[in-house]
Chains A and B, each alone.
Chain A
Amino acid sequence: IMNCIIRPCTVKDCKVILQLIKALGQMTGSDVCVSFPGPALREDGFGAQPMYDCYVAELPSGQNSKKGDSIVGYVLSTYTYSTWKGRNVYIDNLYVRPEFRGMAGQQIGKQLMKKTAEVALKKGCSQIRMHVARWKENENRFLTCCGSENLTAKEGWNLFRFEEDTLWRLAAHN
Chain B
Amino acid sequence: MECVVRPCRAEDCVEVMRMIRELAEFEKLPDQVQINDQVLREDGFANDPFYRCLVAEVPPEYRSRDGHTIVGYGLYFFTYSTWKGRNIYMEDLYIMPEFRGIDLEENRMNLGSPGICTPNYAGKGIGKKLMSKIAEIGVENRCIEMKFVVLDWNQAAIDFYQSQGAVDLTAAEGWHFFHFKGDALVRLAQGQTGL
Contact = CB atoms under 8 A, between A and B. Distances in A.
Is B a genuine binding partner of A? yes
B78 interface: yes
A16 B156 CA distance: 45
Give the top 8 A-B pairs by smallest Cβ distance, nearest first: A166-B165, A147-B184, A134-B174, A117-B189, A81-B51, A158-B170, A170-B135, A52-B80
Interface of B: 20, 23-24, 29, 32-35, 39-40, 43, 50-51, 75, 77-86, 89, 91-92, 123, 128-129, 131-133, 135-136, 138-139, 143-153, 158, 161, 164-171, 173-182, 184-191, 193-195
Interface residues of A, number: 77
A170 B184 contact: no
A166 B168 CA distance: 13
Contact of A153 (B33, B43, B176): B176
Contacts of B148: 159-160
Contacts of A84: 20, 24, 29, 32-35
A30 B81 CA distance: 15
Nearest to B80: A52
A93 B191 contact: no
Interface in A42-94: 44, 51-52, 76, 78-88, 90, 92-93
A155 B151 contact: yes
A38 to B, nearest CB: 11
A168 B139 contact: yes
A174 B83 contact: no
A85 B24 CA distance: 12
A32 interface: yes
Contacts of B50: 79-81, 86-88
A4 interface: no
A151 B179 contact: yes
A27 interface: no
Contacts of B174: 133-135
Nearest to B35: A86
A143 to B, nearest CB: 5
B178 A129 contact: yes
Contact of A160 (B20, B43, B147, B179): B147
A131 interface: yes
Contact of B51 (A17, A80, A106): A80
A121 B187 CA distance: 11
Given A21-B82, A167-B145, A159 B185 contact: no
Contacts of B188: 113-114, 117, 128, 146-147
B83 A32 contact: yes
B132 A147 contact: no
Contact of A146 (B123, B175, B194): B194
Contacts of A148: 178-180, 184
Contact of A106 (B24, B182, B195): B195
Contacts of B177: 129, 131, 150-152, 157-159
A168 B144 CA distance: 9
A85 B149 contact: no
B150 A170 contact: no
Contact of B187 (A131, A147, A150): A147
